[in-house]
Structure 1
Amino acid sequence: MNGPVYASHQGSSELNSIPPIDLADLRVLVALADFRHFAKAADACNLSQPALSARIRKMEHALKTPLVERSRRFEGFTAAGERVLARARQLLNDVDGLVQDAKSGETLSGLLRIGVIPTATPLAGRLASSLSTVHPNIRLRASSLSSRAIEQGLKEFALDAGITYLNTEPNPDMKTLPLARERYCLVGTAQLPGNGTIPLDWKDLAGVPLALMTPDMQNRRILNRAFAAAGVEPNVGFEANSFLAIVSRASAGDVAAILPRTMADMVCMDGLARRDLAELAAPPVIGLIAARRVPLLPLVAALWSHAAACIAESDLASDNPT
């Protein structure tokens, strides 16, 4: 029998069971999660606040459950709202990938969101500059975040990729590409211990007043393990979650900062001396991470292949092939 084939009655019923929710509704939910404020979320979505509230009520009616805690101001999501939000982020991320795939035969363009640990900001800047020469229409937005915040951002689809530590607190759920090993130096006034050209042993830092990153930063956890391996309890005189802050503190002369050498090259001030520290037995490796998905988003794939080409001649290329 010739002629068009129509969907079965059962298939039609399945379509009719899909809640009447569109992508704009999902974007409203994500904006509310990002801004934690009704008016700001409405402005980001180019809606009035009543229109935003109407979309939320429509979703709640369609799903037959409250999504947002009701109050004069935003108080958070219900348990069901948190689950729906996670799905909304994933669906919007997949739609973004669909759009990128549709344009993959053309010049790649769009926003690439990357989370970067503070120690890797010089590396991220160089990689972004290099990428722009190959893909000038890709806009890269780098946010300085802790390693844990980067992993969370990837899980929530708030980030597309990250530059973070790979081997100190590995996450098997992430696709990784090593980029550089991290080495350290002591930075302070001219009265640094030893004042020589031979790298300083970590045990020689016993009693030296130090300015270090805060304990929530993975860099600090790495340093704490280095001190423990040397049998030294660090004498911490100042803590901050900013390398610029600890370098500024070291410039006063009564404490010294421990910095990755690449960071010291970028932020060290006049009047400060530096002394290399002995390399750790297992140096931290910094690299790209992304959520394991097939295929990768085209923009992430472009970043990945470009970064891999940049380090193809490096001894790091064989450290982690995943």
Structure 2
Amino acid sequence: MDIKQLQFLCALERLGHFGKAADACCVTQPTLSMRLRNLEEELGVTLIKRKQRFEGFTPEGERLLQWAKQTISAFDGLKSEAARLKGSLVGTLRIGIVPLSHVHLMPVLKALSEQSPQLRFQLHSLSSEQIIEQLTSNHLDVGLTYLAQVESERFIVHPLGQPDIGLLYHPDYFHFDQDSNLPAPHRLPWSALANIPLGLLSPAMRFRQGIDRTASVKGVTLTPLIESDAVEHLIEAANEGLCCTLVPLPVLNSPMLDHLMIAPMETALPQPALAAVSCRNQSTPNGLALALLQMLKTTH
């Protein structure tokens, strides 16, 4: 048995296809299949249900898959810690982020990259529930998620605060800065949202739920023209003048926003607080995750 076989097993679980798992592991499909059969023979149990294609794992395979994940995590942690002791970090830092996070993550990743040029990053836009699930299953190292979803005894937690809210719009189509009803210091009343086309995140998303609560308290019924679970769709619609959208402040820098403007909203109910979280594992701490959390502490 070697670490490669365990990596093949986890890749198969993650991708659900022999060919895709082989491509991800940079080997041929016959090589991956042979090595997994060798693993089964060595362990003396059948791990994988096979017919013409991958059919899932046997009950024994499901049990041993968890051990494989823990072993790979420990192996990756060992390499990361050795690199850290030499003054650098190596490996891939896997980060899950809820849509419309107000955290300026890219400057932090740039600083980490400058310190450790061999460090790589994978970013995944996920719901808060998916982030917690993938942290627990070792598919993510760090999550930027909602603090209320986190059980502090299971995770290392760094709170990242609560955002203000602003309306993102294209000035060629909307003219809120000319509205004489704007209260000082030029904040948009929630009542204005009842008369404009809106693009909002899907109702199941936490940021949208906070918006809906505030609108309800203000006596405003929101009837969005567009709902999407992808922030990019809402920004594209705003750029076309199809609608306006609500975003957390401060807004992240992006070329997609170059032609858009922000009208800060008047007082809103506190939005769900964000946190950077990583699984708490005292025996094999994740050096990459700890490095990112430490950097976020110094900048947020």
Normalising by the smaller structure, the TM-score range is 0.7 to 0.9
Q: Distance in 2 between matches of 1:139 and 1:89?
A: 20
Aligned match of 2:121 = 140
1:262 and 2:262 correspond: no
1:281 and 2:269 correspond: yes
1:247 and 2:235 correspond: yes
Aligned match of 2:136 = 155
Q: Following TM superposition, by how much is the alpha carbon of 1:121 offset from its aligned partner in structure 2, in angstroms? A: 7.4
Aligned match of 1:105 = 85
Residues 1:194 and 1:217: Cα distance change in structure 2 (over 3 Å): farther
Find the partner of 1:116 among 79, 92, 97.
97
Q: Distance in 2 between matches of 1:138 and 1:216?
A: 34
Find the partner of 1:236 among 201, 211, 224.
224
Q: Distance in 2 between matches of 1:34 and 1:150?
A: 15
**Does the 8 Å CA contact 2:102/2:252 hold for their aligned counterparts?**
no
5 Å-filtered alignment, 1:182-261, equals 182-188=163-169, 189-192=173-176, 195=179, 196=182, 197-206=185-194, 208-261=196-249
Q: Distance in 2 between matches of 1:281 and 1:122?
A: 19
Q: Distance in 2 between matches of 1:254 and 1:47?
A: 47
**Does the 8 Å CA contact 2:104/2:252 hold for their aligned counterparts?**
no
**Does the 8 Å CA contact 2:207/2:272 hold for their aligned counterparts?**
no
Q: Distance in 1 between matches of 2:253 and 2:83?
A: 40
After superposing the two structures, state which structure 1 stretch, 57-66 or 36-45, moved more: 57-66
Q: Following TM superposition, by how much is the alpha carbon of 1:216 offset from its aligned partner in structure 2, in angstroms? A: 4.1
5+ residue gaps, structure 1, are 1-20, 312-322
Residues 1:289 and 1:298: Cα distance change in structure 2 (over 3 Å): same
Residues 1:174 and 1:203: Cα distance change in structure 2 (over 3 Å): farther
CA-to-aligned-CA distance 1:98-139 (integer Å, 9 cap, x gap)? 222333320222122212223237611121123334444433
The percent identity for this pair of structures is: 30
Q: Distance in 2 between matches of 1:232 and 1:78?
A: 53
Aligned match of 1:51 = 31
Secondary structure, counterpart of 1:142 in structure 2: strand
Q: Which has the higher contact order (CA 8 A, sep 6+)?
A: 2
Residues 1:309 and 1:122: Cα distance change in structure 2 (over 3 Å): closer
5+ residue gaps, structure 2, are none
Matched to 2:294, the amino acid is: S
Which structure has the larger Rg over C-alpha atoms? 1
Q: Following TM superposition, by how much is the alpha carbon of 1:53 offset from its aligned partner in structure 2, in angstroms? A: 1.8
Residues 1:302 and 1:232: Cα distance change in structure 2 (over 3 Å): same
Q: Distance in 1 between matches of 2:163 and 2:290?
A: 25
Q: Following TM superposition, by how much is the alpha carbon of 1:29 offset from its aligned partner in structure 2, in angstroms? A: 0.6
Aligned match of 2:279 = 291
Matched to 2:292, the amino acid is: L
Aligned match of 2:291 = 302
- TM-score, with length taken from structure 1: 0.78
Q: Distance in 2 between matches of 1:284 and 1:176?
A: 15
Q: Distance in 2 between matches of 1:54 and 1:31?
A: 15
**Does the 8 Å CA contact 2:96/2:144 hold for their aligned counterparts?**
yes
Find the partner of 1:37 among 7, 11, 17.
17
Q: Distance in 2 between matches of 1:82 and 1:203?
A: 53
CA RMSD of aligned residues (A): 2.7
**Does the 8 Å CA contact 1:207/1:235 hold for their aligned counterparts?**
no
Matched to 1:41, the amino acid is: A
Q: Distance in 2 between matches of 1:234 and 1:198?
A: 22
Secondary structure, counterpart of 1:158 in structure 2: coil
**Does the 8 Å CA contact 1:121/1:144 hold for their aligned counterparts?**
no
Q: Distance in 2 between matches of 1:257 and 1:185?
A: 8
Pairs aligned (count): 289
**Does the 8 Å CA contact 1:208/1:255 hold for their aligned counterparts?**
yes
Matched to 2:73, the amino acid is: N
**Does the 8 Å CA contact 1:208/1:235 hold for their aligned counterparts?**
no
5 Å-filtered alignment, 1:301-320, equals 301-311=290-300
Q: Following TM superposition, by how much is the alpha carbon of 1:226 offset from its aligned partner in structure 2, in angstroms? A: 2.7
Secondary structure, counterpart of 1:149 in structure 2: helix
